[in-house]
Amino acid sequence: MKPVASPFFFPFLLQFSLVILHFSVGDSSGPSYGEALSKSIMFFEGQRSGFLPNDQRMNWRGNSALGDGSADNVDLTGGYYDAGDNVKFGFPMAFTTTMLAWSVIEFGEMMPPAELRNALVAIRWATDYLLKTVAQPERIYVQVGDPIKDHNCWERPEDMDTDRTVYKVDAPNPASDVAGETAAALAAASMAFRSSDPAYSQTLLTTATRVFDFADTYRGAYSDNTDVRNGACPFYCDYDGYQDELLWGAAWLRRASGNENYLSYIQNNAKPLGADDNINEFGWDNKHAGLNVLVSKEVLEGNVYSLELYKASAESFMCTLMPNASTHIEYSPGGLIFRPGGSNLQHSTAITFLMLVYAKYLEQSSTSVNCGDVSVGSAYLRGLAKRQVDYILGENPMGMSYMVGYGTRYPQRIHHRGSSLPSVWNHPKPIQCKEGTVYFNSSNPNPNVLIGAVVGGPEEDDKYDDERADSRKSEPTTYINAPFVGVLAYFTANRS
């Protein structure tokens, strides 16, 4: 189960002995990264939509949304609910998939073999769905579920009876953002599966190529489409433009295929598509910092020199992470990366992932970043990354872990329908839309532990109230966890 994509190659025995060693020191010196890694992957089972397999470990869940797609006579079952609701939003689901795959590509070799297998299962649950969304040429299904009706109810996914509206974009209408991100996800996943399932890997890559053509040929944002806007906005509207997803999709296709056409694309379009805009952002809507880090690998390897713009932007971003730099990103007093807007831990986990990836590329090329008079190397970036991880796992002013089911104190009242309502196995009778409100209002802990879910977390004051109604803080999302999988894999194998 070794992805050949990673140039880092740990012999099996060495990897095994590292794990043992770290187990023995793990108890006395800080977080148990291996346990957190395992749980971070298990979380995705709690978000599953569709028909659940026999080996489902998050066993309070049941089958749900088995008719998805029937409104348009297609099969759109499967995939993930994005957060604490029961809607399948294609844009963040594709980004989640890209980040899970990137986690495996860079750090899969550092995962215990069983967790690498679990991570691949988590990716495949998404890619099997994404393949369904692009099964028809020149069309992409971008969402299933009416979000207004869904959000108006507090219902278990297994009981869900709100409209499963199907949202799609047909050429010549554009969906460069969702299609570009889907191409990125499929291309990245093709690398993750290359050694364990070459046929599936090939299907993913071939499909990614076709989906990227759709994204690039018809340029524009999916949420400019009136039918789609009513479903996607304001939740996962494309606020930030579709240009970054075109570069991101092409960059992943370049990496996955080695094809020179994609290299030319990211060279020729760097300026026109704004590779150096908003370079300090990275998340489901804005790909810039991730794009710059991804492409920098080629420059650092010394192969290609006309990609300097990307590397310069990546370095500039890394310099802003130094807490004592003249212009730096915001940290809370307790040391957490903070950005306004809610669901803050998505920024911490995604940026921490980029620090570790860039540190790896710097180490492989024996180089460092010049930030004014200061030289920032891989060890420094890893130190910053460790601070974020340790904060999330409990070394913070509240003294609590922000990963559900990890540590002695963790969020008990997360904003999550399935977790907060009784399990279908304990309470088989359906709980209708408004019947769920009593559970939503309750101050009791959630009955079902959504193991591994990382919540939105505290804001700039480091405070966390553990209130179900405060979704900005208490709601988990798939794109908080996805990059964290790679981060935890790194620290499972390397404690610094």
Q: Active-site residues: which are they?
A: 85, 415, 466, 475
Tokens representing 226 are 């009136």
Q: Give the binding-site size for ligand NAG (rule: CB under 6 A).
A: 7
Q: Provide CB contacts within 8 A for 137, sequence distance 6+.
A: 210, 214
Sign of CA dihedral 80, 81, 86, 88: negative
Give the whole-angstrom CA distance, residue 439 versus residue 391.
Answer: 30
- Report DSSP letters for 120-168, one per residue: HHHHHHHHHHHHHHT-STTEEEEEES-HHHHHT----GGG--S---EEE
For helices 243-257 and 198-217, give the axis angle rounded to 10 degrees. 150
Shortest reach from residue 467's CB to ligand NAG, in Å: 12
* Secondary structure E strands in 347-488: 369-371, 374-376
Tokens representing 85 are 């609701």
Taking the least distance from each CB to ligand NAG, the nearer of 330 and 461 is 330
- Kindly report the number of other CB atoms within 10 A of residue 50's CB atom: 21
Do residues 2 and 109 lie in contact, with contact meaning Cβ atoms separated by under 8 Å? Answer: yes
From 179, 322, 350, 485, residue interacting with ligand NAG (rule: CB under 6 A): 322
Taking the least distance from each CB to ligand NAG, the nearer of 380 and 479 is 380
Give the whole-angstrom CA distance, residue 234 versus residue 343.
Answer: 15
Shortest reach from residue 461's CB to ligand NAG, in Å: 24
Q: Hey, which residues between 182 and 221 contact ligand NAG (CB under 6 A)?
A: none
Specify the stretch interacting with ligand NAG by CB under 6 A; choose among 26-34, 292-300, 321-329, 482-490.
Answer: 321-329
- Kindly report the number of other CB atoms within 10 A of residue 337's CB atom: 23
- Report DSSP letters for 170-236, one per residue: ETTS--HHHHHHHHHHHHHHHHHTTTT-HHHHHHHHHHHHHHHHHHHHS-S-GGGSHHHHHHHTTTS
Taking the least distance from each CB to ligand NAG, the nearer of 25 and 469 is 469
**381 near ligand NAG, judged by CB under 6 A:** no
From 24, 54, 324, 408, residue interacting with ligand NAG (rule: CB under 6 A): 324
From 8, 374, 399, 427, residue interacting with ligand NAG (rule: CB under 6 A): 374
Taking the least distance from each CB to ligand NAG, the nearer of 148 and 374 is 374
Do residues 110 and 492 lie in contact, with contact meaning Cβ atoms separated by under 8 Å? Answer: yes
**437 near ligand NAG, judged by CB under 6 A:** yes
Shortest reach from residue 469's CB to ligand NAG, in Å: 8
Taking the least distance from each CB to ligand NAG, the nearer of 42 and 322 is 322
From 441, 444, 461, 463, residue interacting with ligand NAG (rule: CB under 6 A): 441
From 325, 398, 433, 449, residue interacting with ligand NAG (rule: CB under 6 A): 325
Q: Which amino acid is residue 260, in one-letter code? A: E
Shortest reach from residue 148's CB to ligand NAG, in Å: 19
Shortest reach from residue 368's CB to ligand NAG, in Å: 11
Site mask, ligand NAG, residues 392-431, x = CB under 6 A?
Answer: ----------------------------------------
Shortest reach from residue 373's CB to ligand NAG, in Å: 7
Shortest reach from residue 220's CB to ligand NAG, in Å: 41
**114 near ligand NAG, judged by CB under 6 A:** no
**268 near ligand NAG, judged by CB under 6 A:** no
Provide the b/e sequence for 180-212 (b: ≥16 CB within 10 Å): bbbbbbbbbbbbbbbeebeebbebbbebbbebb
Shortest reach from residue 322's CB to ligand NAG, in Å: 6
Taking the least distance from each CB to ligand NAG, the nearer of 432 and 441 is 441
Site mask, ligand NAG, residues 270-309, x = CB under 6 A?
Answer: ----------------------------------------
Contacts of 236-241 spanning 24+ positions with Cβ under 8 A: 236/82, 236/89, 236/91, 236/92, 236/143, 236/284, 236/285, 238/91, 238/177, 238/285, 239/285, 240/278, 240/281, 240/285, 240/286, 241/177, 241/274
**438 near ligand NAG, judged by CB under 6 A:** yes
Taking the least distance from each CB to ligand NAG, the nearer of 148 and 438 is 438
* Residue numbers at the binding site for ligand NAG (CB under 6 A): 322, 324-325, 374, 437-438, 441
